Amino acid sequence: MKEIKSIGVLTSGGDAPGMNACIRSVTRAAIYQGWKVYGVYRGYEGLINDDVKEMTTESVSNTIQRGGTILKTARSEEFRTFEGRQKAYATMKKHEMDALIVIGGNGSLAGAQELAKECDIPVIGLPGTIDNDLYGTDATIGYDTALNTIMECVDKIRDTATSHDRIFFVEVMGRDAGFLAQNSAIAAGAEAAIIPEDNTDIDQLATFIGRGIRKSKNSSIVIVSEKDGGAMHYAERVRTEYPEYDVRVSILGHLQRGGTPTAKDRILASRLGVASIEALKEGQRNIMVGISNDDIVYVPISRAVKWDKPIDKELINVLSILSI
């Protein structure tokens, strides 16, 4: 196996709080090993267009507390093509990068897998997404911060809901994963969470109306995953089917992606960054570095992006019990 002397690092897809802490960790851990580090700007698009700069320890000073990503991020349609990936590989060869570390979510890691397969290069994925939907890791970088952001927003919305005797449907991110919705509902004391994983034939809205609206409650908060019409869909149903209730919608949107990362996200990002360099030293390739029961784990990228990460059904039970 070729000895590694130089690596590239990039962030791809949606930004997540803690990505800068991860870039910092990867950069400094690699320099500690005596390796060169190249920061690739604007994700795979930057790799195609040679938007690359050598990183130093100073490059990542005073970044651990910053949200977003100093390397910028973008989605790249060209990288989805074989020709685009060959251009990206040409940039790697030009700068003599021996391996690539990709910080991102499902699509970003799937792209890394394609590049690794076609060009026979070591690639390490690091789970950077607020959705927490990558299989094989208990938590993803940015998830804890987003969860806290949602909780703080819902706490504020609760004040208005209570003052006006209203039902608020609060839409959160997560796409096909309900981790943010379910856990923020528990943390914020919401009456219900409507999530993709709870996809039985039972009408989740009817269940909530039948169970959640009681004489002892003059307001309710329902956290809704953004899938299938999201909060607007359910609010419209209430207006049509249960017109006696006063309904409002709050869509939190990109608010959830921003902000200073929590201590938990900074520590996770730092650990995963160092572990990615350790993995390369060990000769690992085409794996995602994750965390399980507070231990670092290596998961094949193919498994991380293809397997569905199950939500703990006990969480659904907990919310049901506590929302009486």
pLDDT beyond 90 at 15 = yes
Least trusted range by pLDDT, from 62-66, 183-187, 314-318: 314-318
> Mean pLDDT, the chain, as a whole number?
93
Cβ atoms 222, 211 nearer than 8 A: no
pLDDT digits (tens, 9 = 90+) for 110-141: 999 999 999 999 999 999 999 999 999 999 99
Catalytic annotation, pick one of 15, 131, 144, 265: 131
312 catalytic, yes or no?
no
The single-letter code of the amino acid at 285 is: R
Predicted local confidence at residue 215, as pLDDT? 47
Whole-angstrom distance between the N-terminal and C-terminal Cα of the chain? 60
High-pLDDT (> 90) share of the chain, %: 80
Among the residue ranges 155-159, 196-200, 221-225, the one predicted with the least confidence is: 196-200
Cβ burial of 186 (10 Å; 0-12, 13-18, 19+) is middle
Q: Is the pLDDT of residue 214 over 60?
A: no
Burial of residue 62, with CB atoms counted within 10 A of its CB: 0-12 exposed, 13-18 middle, 19 or more buried: exposed
pLDDT at 219: 72
- Please say if the pLDDT value at position 205 is more than 90: no
The burial class, CB within 10 Å (0-12 / 13-18 / 19+), for 83 is exposed
Strand ranges in 115-267 using DSSP code E only, listed in sequence order: 123-127, 167-172, 192-194, 220-225, 247-251
Cβ-based neighbours of 304, under 8 Å, separated by 6 or more: 109, 125, 127, 134, 135, 136, 137, 288, 290
Q: Judge whether 128 and 265 are in contact, CB under 8 Å.
A: no
Lookup result for tokens 């700007």? 41
How would residue 162 be classed by pLDDT, with cut points 50, 70 and 90?
A: confident
DSSP state, 141? Answer: B
Q: Quick check: 253 and 226 in contact, CB under 8 A?
A: no
Retrieve residue 290's tokens: 């994750």
Contacts of 202 (CB under 8 A, 6+ apart): none
290-313: pLDDT as tens digits: 999 999 999 999 999 999 999 998
Average pLDDT over residues 218-227: 86
Q: What is the pTM of this model?
A: 0.95
Average pLDDT of 156-169?
88
| Cβ–Cβ < 8 Å for 48, 41 | no
Q: Is the pLDDT of residue 216 over 90?
A: no
pLDDT band at residue 211 using 50, 70 and 90 as cut-offs: low
CA separation for the pair 141, 128 (Å, rounded): 5
Kindly report, residue by residue over 69-111, the tens digit of the pLDDT.
999 999 899 999 999 999 999 999 999 999 999 999 999 999 9
Contact residues for 172 (Cβ-Cβ < 8 A; gap 6+): 150, 180, 181, 184, 223, 224, 225, 226, 252, 256
